């Protein structure tokens, strides 16, 4: 992989810093619940199809009392897209060389009343440079207060950068996080954005604020719900819902496809899958 330039370095460093902040907060929640669970970090290297070094990343997974399974991954990869896949990537049809760095997080919770969550932010460079990402809440048993709280934090982040950002990106999340073959949405939404290009500093600042909004909102929701009592029926509903989540990630998710097509670490790519699920 070629040496990183200033923009690529800034993005990579932020995603790694955000990972550290999030993991520390999640471990603090485990301590509050009387658990000593901690993240287990596994570094991995990637080889480009040409045989040259292609970057890599670190897979972080914690299995605890509150977080049944949470993965927080960071990666920085580069090289050349193979075959026709380049045509599907913004700016890569003209030249298949690429760079990508980002953070990806999925949390599946022990208590059915604590919503699962997904967050991803990334910076890509082909013949164009852009940011993408977002966050979405995935409760097996939705609570309006949690949904409103989560959306309010994301809206505040959006409003600070663009008057139309929240309306555009929340609608995009509603469209993207849908399971067409089930005719249902994966969760209660959030925001999703992609191909945010042009002004690196402005777009980077927005992406940082998305990460901070997630960090402000989600741990608060976890602490609010993690001691709620639940029934066997609640757990069964959660496990069935997790089956739908797995279907989306394996059939429709762009991040899963990107990781597989670029030779990423399989365990890191599939860390989004729940530890347990049922299908009727």
Domain positions in the chain are: 6-272
Low-confidence spans in the chain with pLDDT less than 50? none
- Tell me, yes or no, if 113 is annotated catalytic: no
DSSP 92: T
> How far is Cα 170 from Cα 191, in angstroms, rounded to an integer?
4
Query: What's the pLDDT at 271?
Result: 87
Q: Mention every residue, 6+ apart, whose C-beta is less than 8 A from residue 71.
A: 59, 60, 61, 104, 105, 106, 107, 268, 271, 272
pLDDT of amino acid 5: 95
Q: Give the whole-angstrom CA distance, residue 126 versus residue 258.
A: 14
CA atoms lying within 13 Å on the CB side of residue 104: 25
- Tokens representing 167 are 């309306």
CATH number of 6-272: 3.40.1500.10
Tokens standing for residue 251: 């059939």
User: pLDDT (tens digit, 9 = 90+) per residue, 56-83?
Assistant: 999 999 999 999 999 999 999 998 887 7
Q: What is d(CA 121, CA 254) in angstroms, rounded to the nearest whole number?
A: 13
Chain centroid to Cα 207, Å, comes to 13
Residue 51's pLDDT is 81
Residue of 108, 113, 118, 151 marked active site: 118
**Total Cβ atoms within 10 A of residue 227:** 12
Neighbours of 45 (CB within 10 A): 11
Rounded CA gap, 264 and 58, in Å? 11
Give the pLDDT score at 114: 98
Q: Which residues contact 117 (CB under 8 A, 6 or more apart)?
A: 105, 106, 107, 135, 136, 137, 138, 214, 218
What is the C-alpha to C-alpha distance for residues 7 and 101, in angstroms, rounded to an integer?
A: 11
- Residue position matching structure tokens 């990781």: 259
């Amino acid at each position: 992989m070629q040496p990183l330039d200033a923009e690529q370095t800034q993005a990579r460093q932020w995603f790694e810093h955000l990972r550290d902040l999030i993991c520390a907060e999640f471990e603090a929640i485990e301590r509050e619940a009387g658990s000593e669970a901690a993240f287990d970090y596994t570094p991995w290297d990637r080889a480009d199809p040409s045989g040259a070094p292609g970057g890599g990343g670190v897979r972080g997974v914690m299995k605890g009392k509150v977080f049944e399974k949470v993965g927080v991954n960071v990666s920085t990869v580069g090289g050349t897209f193979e075959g026709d896949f380049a045509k599907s990537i913004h700016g890569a049809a003209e030249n298949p060389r690429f760079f990508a760095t980002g953070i990806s997080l999925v949390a599946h919770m022990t208590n059915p009343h604590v919503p699962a969550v997904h967050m991803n932010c990334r910076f890509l460079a082909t013949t164009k440079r852009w940011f993408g990402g977002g966050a979405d809440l995935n409760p097996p048993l939705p609570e309006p207060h949690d949904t409103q709280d989560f959306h309010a934090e994301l809206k505040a982040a959006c409003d600070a950068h663009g008057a139309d950002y929240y309306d555009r990106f929340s609608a995009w999340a509603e469209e993207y996080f849908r399971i067409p073959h089930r005719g249902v949405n994966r969760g209660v939404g959030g925001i999703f954005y992609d191909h945010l290009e042009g002004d690196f500093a402005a777009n980077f600042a927005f992406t940082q604020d998305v990460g901070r909004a997630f960090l402000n909102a989600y741990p608060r929701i976890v602490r609010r719900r993690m001691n709620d009592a639940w029934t066997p029926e609640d757990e069964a509903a959660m496990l069935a819902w997790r089956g739908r989540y797995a279907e989306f990630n394996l059939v429709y998710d762009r991040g899963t496809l990107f990781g597989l097509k670029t030779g990423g670490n399989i365990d890191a790519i599939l860390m989004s899958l729940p530890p347990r699920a049922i299908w009727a």
